[in-house]
A and B are shown apart, each in its own frame.
Chain A
Amino acid sequence: MQTATDIIFDNWHPVCAPPSPGAGILRTRLLDVPIEVAAGPRVRRADNGEDPPVLERFGLVWTTLGRPRQDLFDVPEYREPDRRNLSAGPIGVAASAPRAIENFLDLAHFPFVHTDILGAEPHTEVKDYEVRTSDDGSEIIATGCEFFQPLAALTAAGGQKVDYIYRVPHPFCAVLYKSCFVDPSRMDVIAIFIQSMRQERIRAHLVMSMIDEVHSDTEMRRFQQMIFGQDKPILENQRPRRLPLDPRAETPIRADLSGIAYRRWLSANRVTYGVIPAQH
């Protein structure tokens, strides 16, 4: 089980979109604790009646069960006036948060899980890329990732090589930047913010910040939901459901460099929620 010292309890976590006045009370769960969210937004713990701190960012309500040591990370692109900021979640998954984050960082599954959209056989090769931890150790950054994609986004015309950058600024949140087909000098941003309801039960909040003047909100949401809907059965069929941090528990390859760094980073930060810690 989790320990009280787990940094996860001091992190901010997404719980839902801000409820509109008169929308009633949303009952959900965060890190095993039942919570209620009302307009305001206001969050109340149903177990002890306390009102934990709240903030609103990226079109979501965030709260914490502990004492946040720092502000929630930033995604500066989200504030650029010409971007379309949209949420395409939440989607419930019977999996742990770290399994979902690792899947979000993974390129090699594109041809097999997102067939003919984000990848297609036989173009399966993952070229070497760079992974580093930011100077203050607060996030993991993967750069120089590229992959051949038949239909990278709604704005993409046909198959092409697509460049990716990944950020993991929070144990249960990741942000990706990928080639933008409307403006080659900029990148589209897609983020996954995981609400861990229980260790093996999550809601994935998907947020996009795109440069696209053509497609409707519904079309853009459907595209993201289709992609995540293809990941969901994979995530629900991973065993163990919690991410094993022992390096010998599974078989990493060069293509998993970002996943390897993520597992090490979770170990180094002593995260215990949603993982199987390595035995020392």
Chain B
Amino acid sequence: MNHMSPPPPLSPVWHPIAASTDLAVRHVFHGKLLGRELAVWRADDGHVNVWDNRCLHRGVRLSIGMNDGAELKCQYHGWRYASRSAGCTYIPAHPANSPSRQVTNRVFPTIERCGLIWAALEPDQPFIGLPQADWFAAREAIVHAPAALVLNTLAAEAVPRSLAWLSPYAMRLARRAAPDETLIILAQPADGATTIIRALRAGAPADANAWLRRINRVFVTLRDQIEAASPAGEAAAEPDFTPVAAELAEPAPAATAGLTVTVARKWQVAADVFALKLKPLAGTLPAFQPGAHIDVTLPSGQVRQYSLTGGPGENEFWTIGVRRMPQSRGGSRQIAEQVREGDLLSVSAPRHNFPLRRDALRSVLIAGGIGLTPLLAMAKALRHGGHPFELHVFSRDAAHLPFADTLRGFGDNVRLHLGSDPVQTRETVAHLLGPHGFAQHVYVCGAPGLIDAVTRTADHLGWPDEAVHYEHFSNDREINASSSFTVALARSALDVEIPAGCSMLAAIRAAGVSLPSSCERGACGTCVVKVLEGVPDHQDVYLNAREKAAGRSVVTCVSRATSQRLVLDL
């Protein structure tokens, strides 16, 4: 570099917070910037995460947590946070429940350049880095003094004409002791009284070790000189805390509908099944848990539900599987025939109505055809966590078996059952389930006949309801909407009349009370509401027989009431 060229400015908001080599495989690095502690870690796919260094639950530092390559697991209660989005994916104390989307840690923008990890505490600030060069970094040094003092002290040793400030925290100089060598000096303000100082040179020196030792001596001398001049007592003053932007002081907003994704890839994974790889148009996709589905708005405006098939760490893209059904209402057909790579689709945030417990000693996953999709995500999560599981896939024949390549990767965990008729299917299910044992769970997704076979067989074999989990694609029951009744919304102190032909969901919304929904056919469970009083007339396929008999919850899109009045917890 030429001393006389105008210095390239650096953004004063972006700071180096670690060396690339600090992020060892499966390590969590404890960083600090402007008084804020950071947990810095690299996932197995190379993505670098810079988060607030505290678990949202009880404030334990995540830098003492475990990096499993895809998720960070807190040491205290095992809460898991996904790479990229920092969304919580699992709370072990309540294995049957899905964590709320609000449980998302704060993520700071980051970039890896010049052998360093850079981060900004403020969002949307463009990164302006050093010009491209083969930068060679010296080992950093910690000086217990403010950044300005450290840099000014070093600047006093510079060849006058060589000195150029790139930002308040960075400069270019040649030291009088080595006038031919231009260095970039970067000062990371860890807090108001502590600075982490780094030196870069363009290109590797002839004798790297000698150079590293020399720079190290320069830094040690600088540190001793500064710290001797300002006694430790003063340096340990309260950090000069730069407050973060107000919007960051609030918890991350819940991901809402209206996420736009690009179809990055579309390919055939069985005779009648297409897979779609969906990429966010901007930013990061929200975290999801195994068993999650999203709503996809089709070009025609129709909304359909598809399960996410990815496992832990597969969060740069979402992959869904779409079966082209001859009798379909047109939704899947549109995707199969009209949607192309590069198209934009509007999708919802993931919905979690089919959660996977990770506290089982045995998990049996039973899939029928395209019903494999949520179970594929579950199998990946169980394999990643080292939990024992079996994945049974029923399919007409090998040609109709979706995601066969992925299935091969599960080895002996997968059993295929091709071309079995209903009688054989029931026999096979009875054989593979066996009697229920402690901490055993079964999950089934597929055609209604298969779900029926599994739930009935499990019941015969003594499996308790809470160990049998299922997800229907749709509700094939004929909905009887002829009744009329009153719904009282307890929390809103509102009475809503439900006339014949109108769903509770629609009437409640018309009254101005918002309620999430997804399939609106009584299959997915998104619009379930607690019942405080009254007798529901269940018409869904989401609640199981025990839940229906208890009458304490109701699926508002299709179910109604047999009593004149239904009091809901809304």
Q: B501 within 8 Å of A by Cβ?
A: no
Mark out the residues of chain B between 450 and 505 whose CB falls within 8 Å of any chain A CB in the assembled complex: none
Check B76–A234 contact: CB distance below 8 A: yes
Q: For the complex, give the distance between the alpha carbons of A251 and B439 in Å.
A: 28
A113-B76, A122-B360, A123-B359 as given contacts; A238 in contact with B59, CB under 8 Å: yes
Check B53–A239 contact: CB distance below 8 A: yes
Q: For the complex, give the distance between the alpha carbons of A126 and B92 in Å.
A: 9
Q: For the complex, give the distance between the alpha carbons of A134 and B58 in Å.
A: 26
Q: A274 within 8 Å of B by Cβ?
A: no
Main secondary structure on chain B at its contact with chain A?
loop
Check B359–A122 contact: CB distance below 8 A: yes
Interface readout for B368-391 with A: 1 if CB under 8 Å, 0 if not?
000000000000000000010000
Chain A residues within an 8 Å CB radius of B439 = 122-123
Q: B538 within 8 Å of A by Cβ?
A: no
Chain A residues within an 8 Å CB radius of B12 = none
A239-B59, A251-B57 as given contacts; A121 in contact with B92, CB under 8 Å: yes
Q: For the complex, give the distance between the alpha carbons of A252 and B95 in Å.
A: 15
Q: B61 within 8 Å of A by Cβ?
A: yes
Q: A44 within 8 Å of B by Cβ?
A: no
Main secondary structure on chain A at its contact with chain B?
loop
Q: A227 within 8 Å of B by Cβ?
A: no
Q: A261 within 8 Å of B by Cβ?
A: no
Check A253–B359 contact: CB distance below 8 A: no
Whose C-beta in chain A lies nearest to the C-beta of B53?
A239
Check A240–B94 contact: CB distance below 8 A: no
Q: A48 within 8 Å of B by Cβ?
A: no
User: How many cross-chain pairs have Cβ atoms below 8 Å apart between A and B?
Assistant: 78
A238-B58, A250-B57, A251-B56 as given contacts; A121 in contact with B78, CB under 8 Å: yes
A109-B76, A233-B64 as given contacts; A239 in contact with B93, CB under 8 Å: no
A111-B78, A112-B78, A122-B387 as given contacts; A250 in contact with B56, CB under 8 Å: yes
Check A237–B61 contact: CB distance below 8 A: yes
Q: A125 within 8 Å of B by Cβ?
A: yes
Chain B residues within an 8 Å CB radius of A55 = none
Whose C-beta in chain B lies nearest to the C-beta of A233?
B64
Interface readout for B71-82 with A: 1 if CB under 8 Å, 0 if not?
000111110000
Whose C-beta in chain A lies nearest to the C-beta of B102?
A251
Whose C-beta in chain A lies nearest to the C-beta of B361?
A122
Check A237–B60 contact: CB distance below 8 A: yes
Q: For the complex, give the distance between the alpha carbons of A250 and B56 in Å.
A: 6
Q: A254 within 8 Å of B by Cβ?
A: yes
Q: B519 within 8 Å of A by Cβ?
A: no
User: How close is B80's CB to chain A, nearest CB, in angstroms?
Assistant: 11
Check A108–B37 contact: CB distance below 8 A: no
Check A250–B59 contact: CB distance below 8 A: yes
Leading 4 A-B pairs by shortest Cβ distance: A124-B92, A108-B93, A255-B93, A122-B359
Show the binding face of A for B, using Cβ within 8 Å.
102, 107-109, 111-113, 121-126, 233-234, 237-240, 244, 250-255
18 contacting pairs across A/B (C-beta < 8 A): A108-B92, A108-B93, A112-B74, A112-B76, A122-B360, A122-B361, A126-B93, A234-B76, A237-B60, A237-B61, A239-B60, A244-B59, A250-B57, A251-B103, A253-B57, A253-B93, A254-B93, A255-B94
Show the binding face of B for A, using Cβ within 8 Å.
37, 53-54, 56-61, 64, 74-78, 91-96, 103, 358-361, 387, 439
